[in-house]
Amino acid sequence: MSISSTEREVLVVGAGPVGLTAALALRAEGLPVTVLEAGTEDRERPGSRAIFYHRQTLEFWEKMRPGLGWDIARAGLVWSTKRTFWGEHQVYERTYPPPNPNVLPHSTNLGQTDVERILLRHCKDAGVKFAWNQEVKNASTDPEGVTLATTDGREWRAPYVIACDGARSVVRKCVGIELEGPRIEDAFVIVDVAEDPEAPIRPERLYFYEHPAVEKRNVLIVPFRNGIRADIQLRRGDDPSRFNTPEGVKNWISRVLPPKYADRVTWISTYHFLQVVANSFTDANRRVILAGEAAHLFAPFGARGLNSGVPDVVAAARGIKRALTANHPDEARRVIEEAANERREAALYNRNASNLALEHMRARDWRTRLRRAWSVKLARTGMKAGQYLDSAPFGPRAAAKGTEAIY
Ligand SMILES: Cc1cc2nc3c(=O)[nH]c(=O)nc-3n(C[C@H](O)[C@H](O)[C@H](O)COP(=O)(O)OP(=O)(O)OC[C@H]3O[C@@H](n4cnc5c(N)ncnc54)[C@H](O)[C@@H]3O)c2cc1C
């Protein structure tokens, strides 16, 4: 069966957070949109993924759909304080002023599944159409548009497609685009625990260099709404099963969080992060635009994954709107290329920033070790070095050159 969309209807592949945001961004441009999703509407999504959203992301959401940014901000948890320790000694602390109820907060912390639930509700209210159980198995483009084939034998046709089908993107592979970049050999074990509602912990983000209770491994503790995430950086030569089996987790979690959390574990993952970016964000015919994890994968320190997937789709939707109203096919190609190139440049910037964060945490070269050691000494005398130690595990936060978006 062949299903042709109307002349202006755009298809989005994937109903993850980036695909749902793409659908809302297209609606904000006044375009009709259908989202094709391989899973069912009530599918369980495994793993603990995003929890931290920058103000920039909340602002994008609010702009494309008034009320959305605030819905996510209010559902999430805003940290009051962040602290960094070297061993037993605190080297940095920053307490934020109480949130202004009229301004979106600097960031918010909420499980990705909760964010997806809110996005889905807004998509339905905004008139986005969904086709669940539609796994795309083939994609091809020509100068007029895109043809997608799904595993149940249907064929879909549209002038433009935003591919948000995640890290293993079928659309990306079918149109001949490759991810390029390394896999980081270091392993990180990430554990989520359910918060104890009787005695919630303080909303403080903590980073420990050389945590004394876990034989000087680095540990990050991030509270989010109804939960806490603990992340331990394994050493080269560590056997991950000492840290990622139920017994192994109990052993270290009870030493970095109040011991009761050893019995409140909700998810355990072990990651060797990829630092990859697609060699192009659009196909040869300029009819498909890649976004989110279909286009780039970064280590999560600095929270650049979903936070950069959102500006990806804002740029894609704007480019598609301009292409659909262009007077000449060359003009249409040019605006799609502009959107794709802008976001690829941002992704390369983000990967570099994420690499700097990883280099700092891994401290493999003598320069990094020396800089860290000096910073600890200076931080004890109250100098700005403490701020460097606090921010370096998350990489620089500067804008990517030539783009309006930071991430
Ligand atoms: C441990 C960890 C922590 C993280 N923390 C943060 C954070 O705090 N902040 C942040 O910004 N980012 C974070 N990230 C990154 C963030 O989770 C990802 O960037 C985000 O999930 C990417 O969303 P996506 O929609 O691109 O892809 P996905 O979430 O993978 O969604 C892809 C969707 O496409 C569907 N699909 C796949 N193939 C097909 C097909 N062939 N046909 C139809 N549908 C298909 C899937 O079923 C899925 O619904 C973190 C990641 C990890 C691993």
Which residue, among 78, 381, 379, has the nearest Cα to 209 in the 3D structure?
A: 379
Nearest to 369 by CA among 196, 210, 223: 210
Cβ atoms of 79 and 96 within 8 Å: the answer is yes
**Left, alpha or beta for 147 (phi > 0: left; psi -120 to 50: alpha)?**
beta
Six-digit token pair at 369? 């070790």
Whether 312 lines ligand 1, by a CB cut-off of 6 Å, is no
Q: Are 159 and 10 in contact (CB under 8 A)?
A: yes
Q: Is residue 21 part of a domain?
A: yes
Instruction: Report the distance separating Cα 369 and Cα 385, nearest Å.
Output: 14
Residue 17 Cβ contacting ligand 1 at under 6 Å: yes
Based on the domain organization, do 153 and 12 belong to the same domain? yes
Position 165 in a domain: yes
Q: For ligand 1, atom 15, which residue shows the shortest CA distance?
A: 305
Give yes or no: residues 348 and 247 share one domain.
no
CB 375 within 8 A of CB 319: no
Give 64's Cβ-side CA count (13 Å radius).
28
Q: Is residue 380 in some structural domain?
A: no
Q: Which residues of 186-203 are buried (b: 16+ CB within 10 A; e: fewer)?
A: bbbbbbbbebeeeeeeee
Q: Where are the beta strands (DSSP E) in 128-216?
A: 129-131, 136-142, 145-150, 155-158, 161-163, 179-180, 188-194, 204-211
Q: Is the CB of 15 under 6 A from ligand 1?
A: yes
| Residue 169 and residue 307 in one domain | yes
Q: Residue 305 Cα, ligand 1 centroid: separation in angstroms?
A: 8
Same-domain status, 246 and 289: no
Answer yes or no: are the C-beta atoms of 54 and 62 closer than 8 Å: no
Provide the whole-model pTM.
0.95
C-beta 38 within 6 A of ligand 1:
yes
Instruction: For residue 119, list its beta bridge partners.
Output: none
Q: Are strands 145-150 and 107-109 parallel, antiparallel or unpaired?
A: unpaired
- Residue 23 sits in a domain whose CATH number is 3.50.50.60
Residue among 138, 165, 183 whose CB has most ligand 1 atoms within 8 A, to mutate: 165
CB atoms within 10 A of CB 17: 28
In a domain, 315, yes or no: yes
Question: Pick from 277, 405, 274, 302: which is nearest to 360 by CA?
Answer: 302
CA of 207 to the centre of ligand 1 (A): 25
Q: Where does residue 44 rank: exposed (0-12), middle (13-18), buried (19+ CB within 10 A)?
A: exposed
Q: Is residue 286 part of a domain?
A: yes
DSSP E strand stretches across 212-315: 217-224, 227-233, 265-271, 276-278, 288-290, 296-297
What does the pLDDT read at residue 1? 60
**Sheet containing 265-271: order of strands:** 89-95, 81-86, 204-211, 217-224, 227-233, 188-194, 265-271
Which of 356, 371, 386 terminates a domain? The answer is 356
Domain boundary among 312, 339, 356: 356
What's the confidence (pLDDT) of residue 45?
Answer: 81
Whether residue 230 is found in the same domain as residue 281: no
HSE-CB at 156 with a 13 A cutoff on CA atoms is 28
Are residues 218 and 74 both part of a single domain? no
| Ligand 1 touching residue 307 (CB < 6 A) | yes
Q: Kindly state whether residues 266 and 279 are assigned to the same domain.
A: no
Cβ-Cβ contacts under 8 Å for 166 (sequence gap 6 or more):
14, 16, 292, 293, 294
136 lines ligand 1 (CB under 6 A): yes
User: Ligand 1: which atom is nearest the Cα of residue 308?
Assistant: 11
Claim to verify: residue 206 and residue 308 sit in the same structural domain? no
Ligand 1 close to Cβ of residue 51 (< 6 A)? yes
Residues 224 and 178 both lie in one domain: no
The C-alpha R_g of the chain, in whole angstroms, comes to 22
Given 228, 244, 270, which residue is the final one in a domain? 270
Q: Does some domain include residue 129?
A: yes
Q: Which of 21, 48, 112 has most ligand 1 atoms within 8 Å of its beta carbon, as the pocket-test mutant?
A: 112
- Ligand 1 atom closest to the Cα of residue 169 is 38
Note whether 341 and 298 are same-domain residues. yes
pLDDT of residue 152: 95
Q: Is the CB of 288 under 6 A from ligand 1?
A: no
The verdict on the CB of residue 300 being under 6 Å from ligand 1 is yes
Q: Is residue 281 part of a domain?
A: yes
* Residues composing the chain: 407
Ligand 1 centre and the CA of 2: distance in Å? 29
- What pLDDT sits at residue 404? 47
Which atom of ligand 1 is closest in space to residue 51's alpha carbon?
Answer: 8
Are both 63 and 178 inside the same structural domain? yes
| Residue 58, in any domain of the structure | yes
CA of 36 from ligand 1 middle (Å) equals: 15
List of residues 6+ apart from 40 with CB closer than 8 A? 132, 133
Q: Is 111 in the pocket of ligand 1 (CB under 6 A)?
A: no
Range of the structural domain that residue 148 is part of: 2-79+92-182+275-356
**Co-location of 130 and 65 in the same domain:** yes
Task: Tell me how far apart the alpha carbons of residues 146 and 338 are, in angstroms, rounded to a whole number.
Answer: 19
**Number of domain units in the chain:** 2
Through-space distance between the first and last CA atoms of the chain, rounded to whole angstroms = 40
Digits of tens for pLDDT over the chain (407 positions)?
Answer: 666 556 679 999 999 999 999 999 999 999 999 999 999 999 988 777 999 999 999 999 999 999 999 999 999 999 999 999 999 999 999 999 988 999 999 999 999 999 999 999 999 999 999 999 999 999 999 999 999 999 999 999 999 999 999 999 999 999 999 999 988 888 999 999 999 988 888 899 999 999 999 999 999 999 999 999 999 999 989 999 999 999 999 999 999 999 999 999 999 999 888 999 999 999 999 999 999 999 999 988 889 999 999 999 999 999 999 999 999 999 999 999 999 999 999 999 999 999 999 999 999 899 999 999 999 989 888 778 899 999 999 988 755 554 444 67
